[in-house]
């Protein structure tokens, strides 16, 4: 298998929908998930480049692995659940510190997943409590009001650039890098991943160009003996 040319890592609290987002994008479906153990990756070919996309476990017990997965990352997707403000706070408190091992010019996307989440309420207006409640009746779906607003994500993005001492003028704008998604319906999921691929590809090309500048072409190098002229050559 060819070594990936670039790496993108999904980070965020358990249950925010990291695995679901990745499966929605790569497999075009929204299957039942189980909480991730450790990490796993998909390979995506984008133009002529191979990009690995890493899914990580949000569970506290796997926290220590996060910085290993972030090593050499070109982009990190910090994921939260728009219905759980705590999951946004956790990004700053618990997950940002794991990104120290990423590339110096690593990009950050802030993703609020589960937009348009609905809860089923019966016609009396009470919230459906699931099969155990024993309630029977006609149900209507109502949208759960979002608990986290896009401005909160934008504020976090700007804070991250400051924390990383990255120049805001040289980085993609917050509006380009903050997304609201639904892994369930697919809303904005392609946009998220493909925006990142398009940003990561020039980084890979730049890195390659820098590496080839530093490479010494042994064949074209003359040994001191060959280079010398005169009677002893
Ligand atoms: N309604 C709705 N549910 C979602 C969405 N995304 C994920 N879920 C549900 O949220 C739960 C958790 O999703 P996962 O993708 O497993 O979450 P995770 O972030 O990978 O969790 P860990 O692996 O434990 O870190 C599952 O029951 C999903 O079906 C979404 O966009 N909308
Ligand atoms: Mg998972």
Q: What does the pLDDT average to over 21-31? A: 97
Q: Please tell me the predicted confidence (pLDDT) of residue 119.
A: 62
Q: What does the pLDDT average to over 6-34? A: 97
pLDDT level of residue 1 (50, 70, 90 thresholds): low
- Taking phi over 0 as left and psi of -120 to 50 as alpha, with beta for the rest, 38 belongs to left
Q: Are 56 and 220 in contact (CB under 8 A)?
A: no
Q: Using CA positions, which residue lies closest to atom 22 of ligand 1?
A: 14
More confident site: 51 or 1: 51
* Sequence-separated (6 or more) residues with CB below 8 Å from residue 22: 10, 42, 53, 55
- State how far the Cα of 47 lies from the Cα of 169, in Å rounded to an integer: 27
Q: Please tell me the predicted confidence (pLDDT) of residue 137.
A: 42
Q: Is the pLDDT of residue 129 over 90?
A: no
pLDDT level of residue 117 (50, 70, 90 thresholds): confident
Residue 182 near ligand 1, beta carbon < 6 Å: yes
Residue 36 near ligand 1, beta carbon < 6 Å: yes
161-220: per-residue pLDDT in tens?
999 998 889 999 999 999 999 999 999 999 999 999 999 999 999 988 988 877 655 565
User: Exposure string (b/e) for 43-76, b if CB count within 10 Å is 16 or more?
Assistant: ebebeeeebbbbbbbbeeebeeebeebbeebbbb
User: How many angstroms is it from 214 CA to the middle of ligand 1?
Assistant: 44
Q: What does the pLDDT average to over 118-141? A: 44
- State how far the Cα of 199 lies from the Cα of 157, in Å rounded to an integer: 16
* Sequence-separated (6 or more) residues with CB below 8 Å from residue 40: 54, 55
User: How many angstroms is it from 164 CA to the middle of ligand 2?
Assistant: 27
Q: Are 142 and 121 in contact (CB under 8 A)?
A: yes
Q: Please tell me the predicted confidence (pLDDT) of residue 220.
A: 56
Residue 18 near ligand 1, beta carbon < 6 Å: yes
Residue 183 near ligand 1, beta carbon < 6 Å: yes
- State how far the Cα of 195 lies from the Cα of 46, in Å rounded to an integer: 11
- State how far the Cα of 44 lies from the Cα of 57, in Å rounded to an integer: 20
In CATH, which superfamily holds the domain spanning 6-117+147-213? P-loop containing nucleotide triphosphate hydrolases (3.40.50.300)
pLDDT level of residue 141 (50, 70, 90 thresholds): low
Q: Are 19 and 1 in contact (CB under 8 A)?
A: no
Q: Are 128 and 135 in contact (CB under 8 A)?
A: yes
């Amino acid at each position: 298998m060819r070594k990936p040319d670039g790496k993108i890592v999904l980070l965020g609290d358990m249950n925010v929908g990291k695995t679901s987002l990745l499966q929605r994008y790569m497999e075009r479906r929204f299957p039942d998930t189980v909480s991730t153990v450790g990490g796993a990756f998909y390979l995506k070919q984008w133009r002529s480049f191979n990009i690995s996309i890493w899914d990580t476990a949000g569970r506290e017990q796997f926290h220590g692995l996060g910085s290993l997965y972030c090593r050499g990352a070109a982009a990190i997707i910090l994921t939260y659940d728009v219905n759980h403000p705590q999951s946004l706070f956790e990004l700053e408190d618990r997950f940002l510190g794991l990104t120290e091992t990423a590339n110096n010019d690593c990009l950050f996307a802030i993703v609020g997943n589960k937009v348009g989440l609905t809860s089923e309420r019966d016609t009396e207006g009470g919230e459906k409590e699931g099969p155990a409640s024993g309630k029977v009746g006609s149900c209507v779906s109502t949208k759960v009001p979002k608990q986290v607003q896009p401005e909160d994500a934008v504020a976090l993005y700007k804070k991250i650039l400051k924390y990383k001492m990255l120049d805001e003028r040289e980085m993609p704008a917050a509006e380009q890098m903050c997304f609201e998604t639904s892994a369930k319906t697919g809303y904005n999921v392609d946009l998220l991943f493909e925006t990142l691929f398009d940003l990561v590809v020039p980084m890979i090309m730049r890195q390659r160009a820098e590496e080839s500048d530093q490479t010494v072409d042994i064949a074209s190098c003359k040994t001191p003996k060959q280079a010398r002229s005169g009677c002893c050559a």
